[in-house]
Structure 1
Amino acid sequence: MDLRDRLLVQVSTRDVYDAVALAGHPGSGLVFTGQAAHDAVRMVRRNGYDGPLLADRRRYAGSARVRGTARLSADWIADQVEAGATAPLTDSGYIGKRDHEALHAILEQAIQWEGAIAVLPVHPRWVAEDRPVLVRTITDYGTPVALVVEDGPPYRPLPLPLLSAGVAALGALAHGAEWAAIGVREVLRHLYPEPHEVRGGWRRGGARSAFVPERLDFVPVERLGEGTCGCSTCHGRPLRHLARAEEIEVNSHNAKVLHRLHNRLLRATHRERWWWELRDATLTA
């Protein structure tokens, strides 16, 4: 089961009954999130889902997150393999600013499991000022990785898979990442700094946001404008109708619109150029 060019949908275990509908498009797949994520993988496999499945334990997030030097769990790897995950993800802790010890600890442990993907949840400095060191270190170890980038300033995409991302997932795919995952809700599209300070634009938990292609961004449903959407969920109605919709309907719209963009990306003859032209068009709209 190949992850190549996949745009995955990242969900929580409580989404298990809706998840398959959100990832029913060709080129999609699922990432379940949380301590029981492997159980969700097992459940949808038993129900016949044959697309890519990953399980992100997400020990790197929240006020109780662990540091990347924490020991990785062999049982967590084994549970994912037994459940039918496409590839096991390490239950990594957080890699802080200039925390080379944590970066090496995760990669050093991950290489002991053939086929395992080392999850690297990094402070934003790693993808900005320290990206040459990050890329060189990953290359030296040679193990597959998936980045989770903590909220920070915009950065140029890296050709590395992304977890818990927003629209940056498309940017990563355009720049050569094997796969990437977009979260169905705000808390799964971000790695918030801790301690978390409430600031404008950050909406935790179950707050509903709809993806607006013209803005290349997720917009809180209460702030949607007059624009219409032709996806099979919206049927040409104004996007603002989603303000009254259930979360599954909002997420269904998001999955369909992102799938359409993903298809355009896959058809592009020069993916990086396609991405930057799309970004430029959004900024000038």
Structure 2
Amino acid sequence: MDLHERLLVQVSVRDVYDAATLAGHPGSGLVFTGQAGHDAVRMVRRAGYEGPLLADRRRYAGSARVRGTARLSADWIADQVEAGATAPLTDSGYIGEGDHEALHTILEQSLQWDDAIAVLPVHARWVSGDLGTLLRTVADYGSPVALVVEDGPPYPPIPLPLLSAGVAALGAMAYGASWGAIGVREVLRHLYPEPHEARGGWRRGGARSAFVVERLEFVPVERLREGTCGCSTCHGRPLRHLAEAEELHVNTHNTKALHGLHNRLLRATHRERWWQSLTEAAANTTAPPKGEPRPHPS
């Protein structure tokens, strides 16, 4: 069991009882998010889940996030290994714009553990303006990494695995990343700059947004309009039915629809060309009616 060409579903620890439903299809896996992530890994492993499992402590997010120069925790690594994680993720802090010291500190420390994946939570400028430096530095250290990109301007696909991502994780895989993880809800698809104004996340009674394949976007369920979905959750029904559905139902639709795209990616002869055509088609979809804002991609 490894992470090669897997599209993982990133969830919170409170999703532990729904984990098999959300990531039970071939080619999937799970990333549990939070300080108790390793406990969730242990629970689903004991329940018989055989897919890849990771635990992202996410010390890099929120108003109390730590800088990437902070010491990585050997106990956190050991807890993941004991719990049955596929590979341990470092509990990295945040790498700000131009913070080369933080980048080098995380990569240097991660080398002390075999098979550990260095989590690199970076300011958007690292991928929009300094990607060459980032890629060279990662290559120089030679350790496996997972990138978390803070919200910012659009950026081209990156050939590195993405955590806490939206559909960009699939784009990264099309351009050479070995795996990726897409958050099951909005707060797990973003690394918000601090301070920030919260834009949703979980709410009682339903999911925040539903994935629309034709747009390559997660759209707030109240704004779903025309179109149907043929995934095994929706069975050809209009997408609008998701506005009244329970959160688990919508999230299951999301993972099934993304699984379908993932399968298409794996079958594509020229993956980069396939992704370019897909994104061009999405950009040319019908614009929202006049006066209605375009849904924020996530």
Superposition TM-score tier, normalisation by shorter sequence: over 0.9
SS in 2 for 1:148: strand
Deviation at 1:197, TM superposition (A): 3.6
1:188-199 maps to which residues of 2 (within 5 A)? Answer: 188-197=188-197
Farther-moved stretch of structure 1 (238-247 vs 202-211):
202-211
> Is 2:88–2:117's contact at 8 Å kept on the other side of the alignment?
yes
Deviation at 1:205, TM superposition (A): 3.9
Whether 1:87 and 2:87 are equivalent positions in the alignment is yes
CA offsets per residue over residues 92-137 of structure 1, 9 Å max, x none? 0000000001001100100000100000000000011111110111
Aligned counterpart, 1:30: 30
> Is 2:5–2:179's contact at 8 Å kept on the other side of the alignment?
yes
CA offsets per residue over residues 21-63 of structure 1, 9 Å max, x none? 1111110000000000000000000001110000000000001
- How many Å separate the matches in 1 of 2:201 and 2:48? 32
Aligned counterpart, 2:50: 50
Whether 1:280 and 2:277 are equivalent positions in the alignment is no
Whether 1:129 and 2:129 are equivalent positions in the alignment is yes
Whether 1:177 and 2:198 are equivalent positions in the alignment is no
Aligned counterpart, 1:99: 99
- How many Å separate the matches in 2 of 1:252 and 1:204? 16
SS in 2 for 1:32: strand
- How many Å separate the matches in 2 of 1:205 and 1:147? 24
Q: What's the TM-score, normalizing by structure 2?
A: 0.93
Aligned structure 1 segments of 4 or more residues deviating by more than 2 angstroms? 202-207
- How many Å separate the matches in 1 of 2:140 and 2:229? 46
Q: Aligned to 2:200, which of 203, 227, 249?
A: 203
* Paired residue type of 2:245: A
- How many Å separate the matches in 2 of 1:204 and 1:260? 24
CA offsets per residue over residues 201-259 of structure 1, 9 Å max, x none? x4344452000011110000010002111111111111111111110000000011100
CA offsets per residue over residues 167-199 of structure 1, 9 Å max, x none? 10110010000100000000000000001146x
CA offsets per residue over residues 128-181 of structure 1, 9 Å max, x none? 111111011101111100000000011111110000000101100100001000
SS in 2 for 1:8: strand
SS in 1 for 2:272: helix
1:1-285 maps to which residues of 2 (within 5 A)? Answer: 1-197=1-197, 202-206=199-203, 208-285=208-285
Farther-moved stretch of structure 1 (230-239 vs 145-154):
230-239
- How many Å separate the matches in 2 of 1:271 and 1:95? 30
Aligned counterpart, 2:290: none
* Paired residue type of 1:264: R
RMSD, aligned CA: 0.9
- How many Å separate the matches in 1 of 2:184 and 2:275? 22
Farther-moved stretch of structure 1 (86-95 vs 205-214):
205-214
Unaligned segments of structure 1, at least 5 residues: none
> Is 2:10–2:33's contact at 8 Å kept on the other side of the alignment?
yes
Deviation at 1:65, TM superposition (A): 0.5
Unaligned segments of structure 2, at least 5 residues: 286-298
- How many Å separate the matches in 2 of 1:16 and 1:80? 16
> Is 2:12–2:32's contact at 8 Å kept on the other side of the alignment?
yes
* Paired residue type of 1:96: G
* Paired residue type of 1:237: R
- How many Å separate the matches in 1 of 2:228 and 2:128? 37
Across the two proteins, how many residue pairs are aligned to each other? 282
> Is 2:201–2:208's contact at 8 Å kept on the other side of the alignment?
no
